[in-house]
Structure 1
Amino acid sequence: MFGYVTVCEPELKMKDFRKYRSYYCGLCQELKEKYGFSGQMTLTYDMTFAIILLTSLYETETKTEQRRCKVHPVKKQTMRRNEITEYTADMNLLLAYYHLEDDWADEKKPAALAGKGVLRKKADRIIRKYPRQSRVIKKALRGIRKCEKENCMDLDRVSGYFGRMMAELFVYKKDVWEKTLRRIGFFLGKFIYLMDAYDDLEEDRKKHCYNPFIRICEEEDFEERIRGILCMMIAECSAEFEKLPCLLDVDILRNILYDGVWNRYRLIQMKKQEGKEQDHVKESV
């Protein structure tokens, strides 16, 4: 369900893209050092956005280092890390663990059981360290599972669970910025959930799987409605972001919020257009 909150590389200056990559590589290295290869496997671009946002807001001291890795064994990669990176790595692994736990409870997938077993001890330490976030994540995923079992078509309800989960993760500490960070996480979380549902719609229809868009996807104005809903979520998220006194890496953050989050949507539209053109050619022949 993750991987939608990324940069739009063509619209980003090269120096900013390199810096973005260095935060991403820093998170990867943090996961490796704390949790090994299994931790690295949980890496997501979405958490990189959280690192950059919280680092900018709190002006956290960041260390830069050059390291080789398995993906880049020849050339050393720049890696940026700080206390936010450590927090985000913990949240990244916790999300992965609860997702596997949810998959096992819901569908009894053997892979989920195996993955859950690998991460259990690591996740237990994080749960003890961050009980607030852990409690909300578990409750939110339980709510989503309940919606799926009920075949709930209430978009606000089902996406709201994911939104509340992300809202809790963005609250690094309870302070004057808590309310704004919660709202950023909440609307970004709803966007991620709805974009993922839209992305999976055709496959879910073929497999007769749950998807909150199933009931309205045949309606004439479906595409227009979906874009409107997604735009509303990002507009609310961006409006809250602009309230924060972020100066460091603000161009990267705005690139993500105003452009990068639409990468997947543009790709979906491109594929749909190609499908229509192919159908038109077949009809002509």
Structure 2
Amino acid sequence: MGAYMFGYLQIDKAELKVREYEAYKSVYCGLCKQLGRDYSVFARFALSYDCTFYAITLMSLRRSCSGFKDGRCRFNPLKKCKYARCEDDCYSKAAALTVISVYYKLCDDISDSGFFKALAVRLIKPFFSHWRKKAAKRYPQLDIIVRDMLNSQIAVEQKDKPSLDESAHPTAYMLAEIMKSEGKTESDARVLYECGYHLGRWVYLMDAADDYEKDKKRGNFNPFLSVETDALHEYMGAVLSQSLARAYDAYNLLNLYDFKGILDNMMLFGFPLRQNSVLSGQREVRNEQSI
């Protein structure tokens, strides 16, 4: 049950300044546009909050945003929107990670799902297979990292009651390696690795906490199912908060420029809000709506 970075790395809209929210939307729309340009208009449906976070982080680390431009949404031509301009390949790299992640998630879903769901997944897999090959050709290291994560995750889940740390390591290591590659110096790389590792661990365990009841009912693998405690909810909260705190400690050592206010919002408000939502059993976050 690899987490594949879907849906948890969100903003807290209520705590963002208006101009910061507009800037966040401009990156979200910019990544959507890049997915269409690099792969297909249908690849835009794979757009995720998590890869938007990745794009914003890249642009902030590199200081590559060169302003904003007005445009219209491809899905709704009547809707005006702004796009954040980028001087390098931040969008392309985030778009590549998006299609690569979805492709390997589909592979995982086929092996874990029943006949009818697996059949539906097989129908769309060829499209992502084509896009993933194109992405892997441009960013081979991203493909290797995500593929290795899937293989490691499968191996872990075949063990008898692996620990939380062991279960979360593949996803944590995946995001750590992806973040580490952006370090300009050895020191920067170490900090990025640390931040990515604990954030990846948090994402995986969030997914496990979110799917706990469903996995328990269906007999699927979930690392929290082997935890023996009468206060599982509190235990989940403590484990998740520890990972988020360690990620934030490393985050504070990063040299960030553009969009720092947005990233601060995500680390301090957005991620804890999403965590509280999952632990309270609420599927909808109070500010979760269409960008």
Partner of residue 199 from structure 2, selected from 188, 191, 210: 188
Match of 1:213 in 2: 224
TM-score (norm 1): 0.88
After TM superposition, give the deviation of residue 105 of structure 1 in Å: 4.3
Correspondences of 1:1-285 after superposition (within 5 Å): 1=3, 2-82=6-86, 83-107=89-113, 109-150=118-159, 152-173=161-182, 175-176=184-185, 177-216=188-227, 219-271=229-281
After TM superposition, give the deviation of residue 133 of structure 1 in Å: 2.1
Moved more, 79-88 or 15-24: 79-88
Moved more, 42-51 or 150-159: 150-159
Q: Is the 8 A contact 1:170 1:182 kept in 2?
A: yes
Q: Give the ranges of 4+ consecutive aligned residues of structure 1 lying more than 6 Å apart after TM superposition.
A: none
TM-superposition CA deviations, 1:41-87 (whole Å, max 9, x none): 21110111122222111111435222222544323111114221111
Residue 181 of structure 1 aligns to which amino acid in structure 2? L
After TM superposition, give the deviation of residue 101 of structure 1 in Å: 2.2
State the distance in 2 between where 1:69 and 1:128 align.
Answer: 29
State the distance in 1 between where 2:222 and 2:54 align.
Answer: 27
State the distance in 2 between where 1:179 and 1:150 align.
Answer: 30
Moved more, 82-91 or 99-108: 99-108
Unaligned runs of 5+ residues in structure 1 are 273-285
TM-superposition CA deviations, 1:124-164 (whole Å, max 9, x none): 12222222221121111111122233353411011110011
Structure 1 residues 188 and 203, CA gap change in structure 2 (3 angstroms): same
Moved more, 33-42 or 198-207: 33-42
Q: Is the 8 A contact 2:209 2:224 kept in 1?
A: yes
Moved more, 199-208 or 150-159: 150-159
Residue 257 of structure 2 aligns to which amino acid in structure 1? L
Structure 1 residues 61 and 22, CA gap change in structure 2 (3 angstroms): closer
Count of residue correspondences: 271
- 1:259 is paired with a residue of what secondary structure? helix
State the distance in 2 between where 1:135 and 1:50 align.
Answer: 18
Match of 1:281 in 2: none
Residue 45 of structure 1 aligns to which amino acid in structure 2? Y
Q: Is the 8 A contact 1:153 1:213 kept in 2?
A: no
TM-score (norm 2): 0.86
State the percentage of identical aligned residues.
28
State the distance in 2 between where 1:133 and 1:149 align.
Answer: 25
- 2:40 is paired with a residue of what secondary structure? helix
Structure 1 residues 230 and 201, CA gap change in structure 2 (3 angstroms): same
Residue 103 of structure 1 aligns to which amino acid in structure 2? D
Q: Is the 8 A contact 2:233 2:279 kept in 1?
A: no
State the distance in 1 between where 2:215 and 2:129 align.
Answer: 30
Moved more, 257-266 or 157-166: 257-266
State the distance in 1 between where 2:42 and 2:151 align.
Answer: 24
Residue 254 of structure 1 aligns to which amino acid in structure 2? D
